[in-house]
């Protein structure tokens, strides 16, 4: 009987030890599996975080690039505005310098001609005017130009064209106005460019002015 009880004790002790080792192995495996899963999840989160950081860096870089482009655009726009203002001032000054000038086309060239006397004679024939010598080839004349221009119809009968000495930019502006569907007529007078709309309203225009916007704004103000 003693031998049998001893065998039972040994068997029970071995079983307990086996179970203890088994559960220990199970716990260790569970810990290992959980650690591996957590490590994998952590690696994924780290990669996602890195990707997001890279996206943020890319967005910041793009923002800075757009900011620089906007600053450069603003500088170019400012330079363009300054150039336009300078061109308008230069055009106005150039046109003012021609305020008393006229152009005469079609006057035949003769050998040993005296342009001053020939022109005076031509004006007398075409416009019935006598022009003093001191009023010819002068920057600021009296009203000789005005009087000649008032009587310029007489030049047409002689096959001659006489008109204001308008600058190239102002000539281009007049052409733009004449080609605009909202404009009935356009002309130069006393250093300025004028136009009459199809509605009968008169305007004065500057170089590079937006014709349609100007007329639309004036029409809207009139309606209100």
The residue written with tokens 């019935």 in the block is 128
**Residue 160 lies inside a defined structural domain of this protein:** no
Residue 196 inside a domain? The answer is: yes
In a domain, 170, yes or no: yes
Q: What is the pLDDT of residue 140?
A: 37
Residue span of the structural domain in which 219 resides: 166-224
CA angle 174, 170, 178 (to 5 degrees): 5
In a domain, 220, yes or no: yes
Q: Reduced to 3 DSSP states, what percent helix, strand and coil does the chain have, rounded to the nearest 5?
A: 65, 10, 25
* Number of domains the chain is built from: 1
3-state class (DSSP) for residue 162: strand
| Over residues 54-71, mean pLDDT | 88
Say how far apart CA 160 and CA 107 lie, in whole Å. 7
**Phi, psi angles (nearest 5°) of residue 163:** -155, 170
Distance of alpha carbon 153 from alpha carbon 216, whole angstroms = 36
Residue 189 within a domain: yes
Give the 3-state secondary structure of residue 1.
coil
Give residue-wise pLDDT tens across range 3-33. Answer: 445 445 445 666 667 777 777 878 888 888 8
pLDDT value for 184 = 92
Is residue 184 classed exposed, middle or buried when 0-12, 13-18 and 19+ CB atoms within 10 A define those classes?
middle
pLDDT in tens, 173-183: 999 999 999 99
Would you say residue 183 lies in a domain? yes
Query: Alpha helix (H) ranges present in 98-152?
Result: 115-127, 144-150
pLDDT in tens, 95-148: 666 677 777 666 675 667 677 777 788 788 888 888 787 776 543 334 456 666
pTM: 0.41
Residue 174, domain member (yes or no) = yes
182: its two tokens? 């909202």
Instruction: Establish if 79 belongs to a structural domain.
Output: no
Could you tell me if 147 and 124 are in contact, meaning their C-beta atoms sit under 8 angstroms apart?
no
């Amino acid at each position: 009987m003693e031998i049998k009880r001893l065998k039972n004790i040994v068997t029970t002790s071995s079983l307990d030890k086996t179970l203890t080792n088994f559960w220990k192995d199970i716990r260790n495996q569970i810990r290992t599996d959980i650690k591996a899963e957590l490590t994998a999840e952590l690696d994924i989160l780290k990669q996602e975080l890195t990707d997001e950081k890279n996206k943020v860096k890319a967005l910041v870089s793009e923002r800075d690039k757009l900011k620089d482009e906007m600053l450069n655009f603003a500088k170019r726009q400012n330079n363009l505005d300054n150039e336009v203002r300078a061109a308008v001032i230069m055009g106005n000054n150039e046109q003012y310098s021609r305020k008393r000038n006229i152009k005469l086309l079609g006057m035949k060239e003769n050998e040993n001609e005296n342009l001053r006397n020939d022109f005076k004679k031509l004006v007398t024939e075409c416009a019935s005017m006598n022009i003093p010598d001191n009023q010819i080839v002068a920057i600021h004349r009296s009203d000789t130009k005005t009087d000649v221009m008032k009587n310029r119809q007489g030049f047409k009968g002689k096959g001659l064209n006489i008109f204001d000495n308008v600058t190239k930019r102002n000539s281009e502006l007049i052409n733009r106005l004449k080609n605009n569907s909202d404009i009935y007529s356009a002309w130069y007078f006393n250093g300025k460019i004028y136009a009459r709309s199809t509605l009968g309203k008169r305007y004065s225009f500057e170089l590079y002015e937006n014709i349609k916007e100007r007329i639309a704004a004036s029409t809207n103000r009139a309606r209100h």
